[in-house]
Structure 1
Amino acid sequence: MTQPVAIEQTVHALSDRVRSARPSEVRKVFRAAQRPGIISFANGAPFLDGLPFEKLAEDAHRILAEQGSAALQYGPGDGIPALRSHIVEIMRLEGIDARPEQVIVTAGSQQALDIAARVTVNPGEVVLAEGPSYAGGMAVFTSLEAEIIHVPSDHDGLIPDELEKAIAEVRCSGRVVKGLYTIPNFQNPGGVNLSSERRTRIGEICRDAGLLIFEDNPYGLLGFDGSTLPAIQPQFPDITLYFGSFSKMFAPGLRLGWVLAPDWLHAHLLNTAETGALNPAVFNQLMMSAYLDDPSWKTTLDAYRGIYRAKFEALVETLAECMPEGTQWNQPTGGFYLWITMPQDIDTEKLVYEAIERGVVYVPGTAFFTDGSGRNELRMSFCLPPLEDIRRGARILGELFTEAAAKAQ
């Protein structure tokens, strides 16, 4: 009889990068909070109840009845032409002038970023990122054995002088800086907008230093007042890889995003995309295209902006009533996230499980840094919970942090 392989032996089948990978702190919190009735400020999931589900059902029926064999077949590796044309029109709202053949459709912008990183980043190279930064984005680069170094930000986004300083310090140490990863619009997790002036200055710094810009933009159309800042890409198209997503502006379930890259990178990105997934799901793309064919999608999006503004206002009004003295937070003008800084003596990472016991979950700030920073900070997502849960959950956290502050004195 064949003897079973001992558990200790199976570890040798793992690659070095898998064995050294850090588990996602955000996912750990999500798993700990999987129980009925919990109020979640952790999940950056869009509010979907206002979508036209009856029309979507009609679209699905029509697509399968009229194009079923094509909808369920393999498709182009870069996506169907109809959706790529829609994407070009969406990007035009942010000042991007592109052609459909330059766009590669992917299974969400997360896959697009993973493809881009595989094509451009070598093990041991440095990628600069805002501090704090999106945990999933950092995980892409670190999974490929790159190093993330954070660049400080303020209420206007990443600080250009600090970017120049970071580039110089890394190069002085003999390491290679490959690029800058940035979320310029309603940043996850900080909620800030990179100012127009800084977009230009940061692009100039990266161009002069020979760096790529990884411009991640899932939230650009989610400003509370509907305003949209020009993207970085139009001024610096030869060094910018621009990532878009339908997950926040529509729904994540279809798993559709895209990348627009410099022409000199396009073939390499497409080859890598096809190697990993052959092609994005055709049926999903046809559904998304049908939704965008009807101009009412803009009206639906505008309604969501109002919903998110109301949720944000309910959250900050309640926090102002119940948080301990010395607590600070930013004032986002769109997006999904509020970034909160607690008094120094409050450890949000240690308190997160106590919060879960009381029926509320948030993400501690340490999840958004690779250097251990953020221990007295946290991200609250206001996009998904109902207004009454937002107010109740904020009061529960206010009580928890007030008690912690009193104990620390």
Structure 2
Amino acid sequence: MQQSCQETFEIALSDRAKAGRPSEVRKVFRAAQRPGIISFANGAPFLGALPFDKLAEEARRILAEQGGVALQYGASDGIPRLRKHIVDVMALEGVTAHPDRVIVTAGSQQALNIAAHATINPGDVVFAEGPSYAGGMSVLTSHEAEVVHVPSDGDGLIPSELERLIDEARAAGKTPKVLYTIPNFQNPGGMNLSPERRIKIGHICRKNGMLLFEDNPYGLLGFDGQTMPAIQPEFPDITFYFGSFSKMFAPGLRLGWVIAPDSIHDQLVNIAETAALNPAVFNQLIMAAYLDDAAWKDTLDVYRGIYKAKFEALVETLAEVMPPGCTWNRPTGGFYLWVKVPDGIDTEELVWEAIERGIVYVPGTAFYTNGAGHSELRLSFCLPSIQDIRKGAAILGELLREALAIGHLHTPDRETEGKQLVPLGDPPVTME
């Protein structure tokens, strides 16, 4: 019998692949895939109020009447009908654009990726709120950017801190290239960037020759229907505006978009085409059919009420069960609550014990690139039922009380040791 001889071949990763960060959020998701667990980790929307029967009928009609189009290749920047709807959606937050300037993508994640591909060189400095969206940080670091976190408070990113950090980067011989911000119901901090700061940071970016990446998946999810003015209308020459249907409708269709400065639009279309040829036509037709009926706004109102009720259940229970020294903010929309725990508790280490007890959250370390966040965590209230929210919050409170009594000590973050961290929330709830 002839023995098979195979040599081991070691694949050398590219420098860009080595620079990429694994998603700490998804690592937690994978560890928590077990029946009965209550997840405060998943930023997935609740889909129970969607008109599934109507959507099924629309899907049947699309295939029956337009099957040859729906299942065929399409335009690299998306179908005109959906791009027109996207313009109407953006107008709700003050963005004026022509449908020809809209590039439809596979969610806002791909939109961010093609923008980063087009503009960021290895070693460029990208500024982002501290904390910031873990998926966004993964995209930026995969393009070999140096991410610098800008302190935030209840009104969002602090402009004076941004100016200080830009000056520090220049003094160190680095290139400040981009500010990445989620101005509305920020992930993970939940705060809104105030109207005054939106204008101020736009001027700071323009003065320093920087681009502004405005990521806005949550802007229409204010609990009481309130919206904030987008940054893009005041600074269209430097702003890349990213939108998504994943939170306001559903993530399964993987549909988002980007509006870029006119000077770079064609290059972005080319990059998008290289990455995926075109967004799925069938998915776009379903989304367009949903938006054809103005009732989608009524459904959005239903969801706002659902998320508000879940948020209130969460903060009411936390006030009853959390140990002294814990604080959290009170967002007015979106999916997330940001919690700070006493310094003796390491939320990254404690997450595995939480999973054993039947709940999962995301430790704060997932939302920084500099090692910070050990005394912070994010709770997503969008997906669990109110009953599970109350039950899970009680488990979390008990776990933190025990951890505080035992003393889960951790080494201070190297990047933040000796520095004053600016608290999120205005004002935070404090359990004294």
After TM superposition, the score normalised by the length of structure 2 is: 0.93
The amino acid of 1:200's aligned partner reads I
Q: In the alignment, which residue of structure 2 is the partner of 1:171?
A: 170
Q: How does 1:7-406 map to 2 (within 5 A)?
A: 9-12=9-12, 14-406=13-405
Paired position in structure 2 for 1:5: 7
Q: Distance in 2 between matches of 1:391 and 1:198?
A: 35
Distance 2:131 2:7 in 1: 43
Contact residue 19 and residue 143 of structure 2 kept, 8 A? no
Give the superposition deviation at 1:299.
0.1
Letter in 2 for 1:88: V
Provide the rounded CA distance (Å) in 1 between the counterparts of 2:323 and 2:44. Answer: 28
Mapped to 1, the partners of 2:83 and 2:19 lie a distance apart of 38
CA–CA distance in structure 1, aligned partners of residues 197 and 106 of structure 2: 30
Shift of 1:5: 3.0
Where does structure 1 lack aligned partners over 5 or more consecutive residues? Answer: none
1-side partners of 2:140 and 2:53: how far apart? 40
Q: Give secondary structure in 2 for the equivalent of 1:11.
A: coil
User: Which amino acid is the alignment partner of residue 374 of structure 1?
Assistant: G
Change (3 A) 1:224 1:205: same
State how far apart, in whole Å, the 2-side matches of 1:60 and 1:269 are. Answer: 30
SS at match of 2:232: coil
Q: Find the residue that maps to 1:153 and give its secondary structure.
A: strand
The residue type paired with residue 53 of structure 1 is F
Runs of 5+ consecutive residues of structure 2 not aligned to the other structure: 409-432
d(CA) in 1 for partners of 2:77, 2:59 = 22
Instruction: Give, in whole Å, the separation in 2 of the partners of 1:19 and 1:91.
Output: 36
How far apart, in 1, do the equivalents of 2:371 and 2:257 lie? 31
Q: SS of the residue aligned with 2:230?
A: coil
CA distance in 2, matches of 1:96, 1:217: 12
In the TM superposition, what whole-angstrom CA distance separates every residue of 1:81-136 from its partner, at most 9, and x where no partner exists? 00000000000011111000000000000000000000000011110000000000
Paired residue type of 2:182: I
C-alpha distance after superposition, 1:350-386 (max 9, x if no partner) = 1000000000000000000000111000000000000
Partner of 1:204: helix, strand, or coil?
Answer: helix
One-letter identity of the residue aligned with 2:134: A
What RMSD, in angstroms, separates the aligned Cα atoms of the two structures? 1.0
Letter in 2 for 1:103: V
Q: 1:211-251 CA deviation, whole Å, 9 max, x = no partner? A: 00000000000000101010000000000000000000000
Counterpart residue identity of residue 248, structure 2: M
C-alpha separation in 1, matches of 2:95 and 2:188: 25
8 Å CA contact retained: 2:20, 2:143: no
TM-score (normalised: structure 1): 0.98
* SS of the residue 1:141 aligns to: helix
Please state whether the residue corresponding to 1:133 is helix, strand or coil. Answer: coil
- Give me the identity figure in percent: 72
SS in structure 1 of the partner of residue 231 of structure 2: coil
* Distance in 1 between residues matched to 2:291 and 2:318, nearest whole Å: 38
Supply the distance in 1 between the matched residues of 2:325 and 2:275 (Cα, whole angstroms): 48
Q: How far apart are the structure 1 equivalents of 2:145 and 2:20?
A: 11
Name the amino acid aligned to 1:41. Answer: F
Aligned to 2:426: none
SS at match of 1:214: strand
The one-character-per-residue Cα deviations of 1:243-267 (angstroms, maximum 9, x if unpaired) are: 0000000000000000000100101
Q: Give, in whole Å, the separation in 2 of the partners of 1:165 and 1:177.
A: 12
The AA in structure 2 aligned to 1:154 is D
The letter of the residue matching 2:210 is: L
Distance 1:204 1:22 in 2: 31
Give the total of aligned pairs. 406
| TM-fit CA distance, 1:407 | 1.5
TM-superposed CA distance for 1:2, in Å, is 6.6
SS of match in other structure, 1:352: helix
In structure 2, C-alpha distance between the alignment counterparts of 1:135 and 1:102, rounded to whole Å: 28
Tell me the SS of whatever aligns to 2:205: helix
How far apart are residue 20 of structure 1 and its match? 4.2
Residues in 2 aligned to 1:52 and 1:260: alpha-carbon distance in whole angstroms: 29
